[in-house]
Structure 1
């Protein structure tokens, strides 16, 4: 390596695992800011969101992927295809296993997929370690190690992490606590990267378009508190984002117009709520997150539309960005 970047490493890593394995929370913890939406509902992630981790000794581009699952719709098939495309293009793969759930059929299926990939280094990540005691955590670490042997995977490392604890801690507390398991995981990823210059400018946290991030924050707000059948049926499209023209420079306002798509009229009624109360709550919660993301006051205009059975319709999927 020649020049100022001797010893500096950069490259791509991705997190894979079954739905609700803690991949998005871990991505946010590593980046240090919220760039991927999270929910306790499985299959929340629908895009390969890239987060950028800046370090003095290197730069990591972390790709958060949808949970690999048995697809029941065309959308599910396309999300699985996205996961497989992503892991074929990265330098290292972090395979996530929740500490608080037994290793199951889905985990064994993913391990089999990992074994077939070949030379790409794989690090087993036991997530949600704060939810279990030391004994249970030790059992899960041993179980994950055994799963690797059973599948024919030589794990580069097996690491327990608590992303939620790191996100909850203030920057001052994180600094005073020294290196934690999330930082250790970043170091282990970086050790697998080639030497090379940074791939993104200093300070940039993601290369996702603002419209995509805004749409995801609206969907996250809509997911909270809805009935079990709704999360997979909600999609969001930002139709327009424009600064309000008649505002003074010191009091800007960004007008955002977005559409929430559901598959049936009955679902539309649930999202809107009685006299529009539910939709107003979604708008209030989403606007708070959007203003934090963009650093500017926002007027958020939401409309709920029906796109019948959009998860199974190729034309509707294309219109909604899938």
Structure 2
């Protein structure tokens, strides 16, 4: 059997969470069109007949460290390179960005086998341009493999899985074969609520929201969940609640349906909106809200 940890890295919003969800065949990481949707390190465990690949989904690496939250996201992404056996670097299209130079340096320091996965290949029509980019990329770094994929359309994902498995060491499985993630349902529930907030309010409040589960009661016929949506200002609270509470009702309804699919049980979900001023730029507030990977 092969077994090991595989870091999924890349810039914000290149499709790392979508890729992991499709590799697992189950939604573990939340997604949205907004960068920096992923805030925590999440393991996705894929056990097959040939081995166990433990994918590590991380926040996107970026050069904006103005707030404590941004610094936390970068630390979480960078520390993922410690303790893994393989790195999959996901990029979006056929171009490099300024921050990619720093990623190259981190990969050289890590000294691990790296697969470059070029996402959204379905949008690239010119094969010669694609091959020229592959040749240029191989000149910049000694990638073990370079593979074009589409995370959304599942193009070449089986081939990517095969390449990953070949690079993993021989080892007995670390996790039970039926385990999909290391995160408890309580955590996944908070993430689902935050996903619905981000999708509904992404243009107005993409980074000023976080969710905390205050109570999670599992009963034979229904699970009762009581959650707090934290914002930074009273004006943001009004936006989340909406006129006559309509926005909060829509978010609650969206989240409840997905949570019921996750736990396969009827759910009662109660949401409150509260203010914690400046939480995203306060290290102590971040720790109290669970940002302590």
Q: Under a length normalisation based on structure 1, what TM-score does the superposition of the two structures give?
A: 0.86
Q: Please give the alpha-carbon distance, in whole angstroms, between the structure 1 residues aligned to 2:108 and 2:96.
A: 17
Q: Does 1:139 align with 2:139?
A: no
Cα distance change on mapping 1:277 and 1:181 into 2, 3 Å: same
Secondary structure of the 2:52 match is strand
Secondary structure of the 2:200 match is coil
Aligned-residue offset at 1:227: 4.9
Q: Does 1:195 align with 2:186?
A: no
Task: Name stretches of at least 5 consecutive residues in structure 2 with no aligned partner.
Answer: none
Aligned residues, how many? 290
Of 137, 140, 145, 1:157 maps to: 145
The answer on whether the counterparts of 2:200 and 2:251 sit within 8 Å (CA) in structure 1 is no
Per the alignment, residue 301 of structure 1 pairs with: 270
Q: Please give the alpha-carbon distance, in whole angstroms, between the structure 1 residues aligned to 2:50 and 2:206.
A: 40
Q: Under a length normalisation based on structure 2, what TM-score does the superposition of the two structures give?
A: 0.94
Post-superposition, which runs of at least 4 consecutive aligned residues in structure 1 deviate over 6 A?
A: none
Aligned-residue offset at 1:154: 0.5
Per the alignment, residue 129 of structure 1 pairs with: 121
Cα distance change on mapping 1:303 and 1:145 into 2, 3 Å: farther
The answer on whether the counterparts of 1:145 and 1:155 sit within 8 Å (CA) in structure 2 is no
Per the alignment, residue 257 of structure 1 pairs with: 226
Task: Name stretches of at least 5 consecutive residues in structure 1 with no aligned partner.
Answer: 1-7, 167-179
**After superposition, what is the alpha-carbon deviation per residue over 1:175-205, rounded to whole angstroms, capped at 9, x for unaligned?**
xxxxx51111111111111111111111211
Q: Does 1:13 align with 2:6?
A: yes
Of 48, 69, 73, 2:41 maps to: 48
Cα distance change on mapping 1:272 and 1:287 into 2, 3 Å: same
Q: Please give the alpha-carbon distance, in whole angstroms, between the structure 1 residues aligned to 2:202 and 2:235.
A: 12
